[in-house]
Chain A
Amino acid sequence: MFDFDYSFFLEVLVGGLLSGVMYSLVAIGFVLIYKTSGVLNFAQGAMLLFAALTFVSLVERGVPFPLAFIATFVVMAVLGMAIERVVLRPLVNKPPITLFMATLGLSYVIEGAAQLVWGTQVHGLDLGVDDTPFEVSGILISKFDLFAAAIAATMVAFLTAFFRYTRIGLAFRAVADDQFAAFAVGLRLPRIWAIVWTAAGAVALVAGLLWGARLGVQFSLSLVVLKALPVLVLGGFDSILGAIVGGLLIGASEKLAEVYIGPFFGGGIESWFAYVVALVFLLIRPAGLFGQKLVERA
C-alpha cells in the first residue's frame, strides 16, 4: 500500500460510481411511491422480479423485443393499478408501519405469482450490449455499465420532465407536498396513486431488465432492494436527486472500502458497510442528503 497505485484507485472509483447508478435505479422506484403515499414499498424488489421475468418469458416465447417491452409495461401498469385499488385504498390513513407490512405481504404475493406463472427456472437476458471492457488510459471501463448509466440518465430526465411539465406531474407534486391540501383542492388521490404505482412499475421494469442482464433473471433479483435501502437512507426517501447522489456515494465508498479497508478485516465488509456509511451520515444530518427535514412520527 506504500506505493499507491492511482490508476487502480481510479478504476475502483469509476467501477463503484457505475455500480452506484444501478443502485439508484432501484432506489428511484421507492422514492416515487414514498413521495406520494408515504410508504416504504418493500414490494419494489418483487415488482422488479415480476417485470423482468415477464419480459424474458415473453422474449423466449418468440415475442419481439419492443413488443415484449410494451406488453410488460402494460402488465406492470395493470399490476400497479390493482395494487392501488386492492391494497392501498382500503389502507388509507393507516399508520406507515401498517402500509409497510402490507407491501411485505404484497411482495410474497407478487413473488409467488411471478414464479407460479413463469416457473422457477433461471433465465439469461441479453440486451444486445456486449459487456467487453475497454481501456481509457489504463483504466478499465465496462461498456454495459456505461449503457446502464445512459439509460438511467434518460429515465431520470424523462421522469423529471413528466413531473414538471404535465398536469399529472403537477398533481403529483402537490400530493407529495401536502396530501390533505391536495385532497382539499379536489385532486383525486386514488388516480394519482394509480399513476405513481404505474410509474414505479415502469421504473421496476427498466431496473429489472438492467439488473436481469447482470445477474440473470431469477429469484435473487428481488434481493437488489437491499442494495437500494442504504441509498435511500443516505439520499432521503423523498428525493430523486438524493437517490442518484446517494447511489453514487454508496457505490463508490463501498467499493473503495472493500478494496482498501476490507483486507484488514478479511474482506466481505460490503454487506454492511453501505449501511454504516448511511448511518454515520444520518447522525450528522438526520433527513438525509436532500430529504425534507421533518419530524416524522412512526
Chain B
Amino acid sequence: MSTAVVDRPASSPWRIPAWAGPVAVLAIAYGVLPFLGGSYIFEAILTPFLALSLAAVGLNLLTGYAGQLSLGTAAFMAVGAFAAYNFNLRIHGLPLIVSIALAGFSAAAIGIAFGLPSLRLRGFYLAVSTLAAQFFVQWALTKFGWFSNNNPSGVIDAPALAIFGISFDGPVGRYLFALTIVVALTAFAYRLANTQTGHNFIAVRDNELAAKVIGVPVLKTKLLAFAISSFMIGVAGALWAFAYLRTVEPAGFNLDRSFEILFIIIIGGLASIRGAFFGAALIVVFPLILSRVGSFLLGGLFDSGVLDMSQRIVLGALIIVFLIAEPDGLVALWDRLTKGFLRSGEATRKS
C-alpha cells in the first residue's frame, strides 16, 4: 500500500489545462450519454457503475489514502440504504435528498463505531474485525422488523425519485439522479485529498509514528477517515437501493459485495479517485462482456453451466494477472497509455 502515491493529473506536454479532462467527462456524462442507447445501458450498466464507483471512492479514502483495510463496506452500504428508506418513510415531507444525506450521516456514525478498533488494531487484524460490522449489521437489519417497516419478507421498496418536485423516474432520470450525487461527492473527495486532512490521511498510512511526531492527530484522523468514507459508502448504498435495484434486502449487502468493492479499488488503483471509476467500470462491464462473448462464441459447444464456471475462473485469473502485471492499477495503465499516445502524437507533428 505504501507504494501508491497521491493521485495527481498527469502533466502532459501539450499543457492541456487540468480541468479539461473532468469537464470533458462531465460533458459526455450529461450531454451525450442520456441521448444514447436504450434502457439497458442505463439500468444494467451505468447506474450500478455509478453506485459502485461512489462506494469505491469512499473505500479508497479509507483504505487507499488512510491505509485502514476494511471488509465491512457492504454493511455501511446497507446502513445507508435502510436509513434512507426509513427517513423517507417516517418523516413526512422530508425531501428525498435530505433523507439520503441523513442516511450518509447514519452510515458515518456506524462507521465511527466500527472504526474504533482501528485505534489499536492494524492490518489483517483490523480487516477481520471490520467483518464484525458486516455480520452484525446484516443480523440487526433482518432481526428487527422495524427497519423494513415490518414487511413480512424484510424487503423494502424504494420510493419514486424526486428532488424539489422534479421527478427522476425512468432509466435516464435515475441515471442522472445518481450521476449528480456521485459527481458532487467525488468533487468533495478530490478537494479533500488535497487539504490538510487528506495529507494527514496519507501521513497516518505511511508512518503512524512519524505522523504523530509531526503533530498529526492520529486517532482523530483515523476516525475521520472512517466517518467520511462510511458517509460516501452509505450514500452509495442508498443509490444502489433507490436508483438501481429499487428494492433491497439485507442479504444483498453480503461479504461478496464488500470484496467486490475492494477489488474495484485494487484493480483501479489505490489512493486514486479516478481509479475507483476505472475499477468499477471493469468490474461491472467485464463479466457482461465475458458472458456475451462466451455464449456467442462457444454457446453451441458447451452448456451454460460450463460456460459460467469458466467465467468465474477467468475473472479470478484476471484479478491475479492484474495484481502481478499492473500493481498500481488501471489508473497507472491509463496514464501510461495516454502519455504514450500524446508523446507519439507530438513526435509525428515535429517530423
Contact = CB atoms under 8 A, between A and B. Distances in A.
B128 interface: yes
A282 B2 contact: no
Contacts of A282: 117, 120-121, 125, 129
A275 B306 contact: no
Contacts of B343: none
Contact of A296 (B68, B120, B123, B319): B123
A278 B129 contact: yes
Interface in B111-147: 117, 120-129, 131-132, 135-136, 138-139, 143
A77 interface: no
A115 B67 CA distance: 36
Interface in A86-112: 86-87, 90-91, 94-98, 100-102, 104-112
Interface residues of B, number: 47
B301 interface: no
Interface string B1-42: 111000000000000000000000000000000000000000
Contacts of B122: 295-298
A243 to B, nearest CB: 14
A272 B319 CA distance: 29
Interface stretch (A14-22, A130-138, A227-235): A227-235
B214 interface: no
Interface string B319-351: 110011001000000000000000000000000
Which size bracket describes the interface of A in this complex? Answer: 35 or more
B319 A275 contact: no
Interface of A: 40, 86-87, 90-91, 94-98, 100-102, 104-113, 115-116, 120, 226, 229-230, 232-233, 237, 265-266, 268-269, 271-272, 275-276, 278-279, 282-283, 286, 288, 295-298
11 contacts: A91-B323, A101-B262, A105-B323, A108-B313, A111-B312, A116-B306, A116-B310, A226-B131, A237-B125, A275-B131, A297-B208
Given A97-B1, A101-B319, A115-B309, 10 more contacts: A95-B1, A95-B2, A98-B327, A105-B316, A105-B323, A108-B319, A109-B317, A233-B128, A288-B125, A298-B1
